[in-house]
Structure formats: C-alpha cells, structure tokens
Amino acid sequence: MTIDLTPIFNNEDLSLPFNYEFSMSSYVPEGEDNPFSPIKAKGKVFNRTGIVYLSALSEFTYSARCDRCASDIERQMAVPSEHILLIGNEDEAEESDVEYDDRRLFIPSYQLNLDDLLAEDIWLSMPVTFLCSEDCKGICPNCGTNLNDGNCSCKKAVDPRLEALAKLLNDD
C-alpha cells in the first residue's frame, strides 16, 4: 500500500488512518515457505505541530519449529511501529549536527510504501529463537527422542577427562 503524504505534510492536525492486510510472501527469501499469516496492519499517519508521525500495529500468526525439539508451533504476534517521517535524504541529515534517532525515517518523495516499512519492522522485531515453551528440554543428541515427551534409555556419556574416575565408581 502506497500512501501519498503530500496532504499530511501540508496540513497541521491532519490524520490519515489505515486498516488493511498485506502478505509477507515477497519479503521471505526465495525458495522458503512463507511462515506468516496475512498481516493485519492498522494505524495512522498524522501531523502534529508540523511533525509527521506514523503509528501502526501489525498483527499476524507466525508458524515455525521449536529450535530445541523441532515441534511445530504457532505464535500470535503484534508488532508496533512508531516513526517520525521526514522528507529528504538520510545522507544530508548525517552531515548536519542533528542527533541520531532510529525512529526517524527519511523518504525521498511524498510517497510512502507502507508494506515495505511494516515488513522491515516485523523482521527486525522477530526473536532469534522460537521455543515451544521456556522449559523445553529439546531432543536427545544420541537417539533423537523428544525429551519433553519422556526420558530416553541412552546411557549418559562420561566426560573423557573423568573416565578414570567413572571406572573407579563402576568397580565397586
């Protein structure tokens, strides 16, 4: 969805609400399945005292595998996006003495591709690991049994440095 920001930048106290859905399929690496349900984005772009803000919330379901036990999981997620919109070039702003603020977004024209912006915010907010539960025990490295379902029958490996001590314990 592309938004024309010309009226927002030219009129104080003007607000442009939006509520729509978009797909993340074009933002997922080629050859990979899209783990995102359709993204429901709602929010507004508004001008307060000559400063243009974007406030949005993107809601979706993310499907993944647990990073410890490989169980299928689905997570309901909501990603907030807050930006200050500025017309211009980011390189010019870096040359000035303006303090850095990661909420500032420089756009070269009055056209804002909202899908691109929200997709970037979604990717940046994704956790590094997905777990089925915080106390997930994972899988046995020897037999592959899911340790959340029960214990495996594998004998615990002895650290080679302590093997001589283990022999002493077994001799009794």
Please list the pLDDT of the chain residue by residue as tens digits (172 residues).
888 888 888 888 889 999 999 999 889 888 888 899 999 999 999 998 888 999 999 999 999 999 989 899 999 999 999 999 888 776 655 555 456 567 888 888 888 899 999 999 999 999 888 898 889 888 888 888 888 888 888 877 777 888 888 777 776 5
Q: Indicate yes or no: pTM above 0.75.
A: yes
Q: Count CB-CB contacts under 10 A for residue 139.
A: 19
Angstrom distance (rounded) from CA 28 to CA 123? 10
Contact yes or no for 57/118 (Cβ under 8 A):
no
Tokens encoding 83? 């930006």
Tokens encoding 44? 């507004």
Angstrom distance (rounded) from CA 34 to CA 64? 10
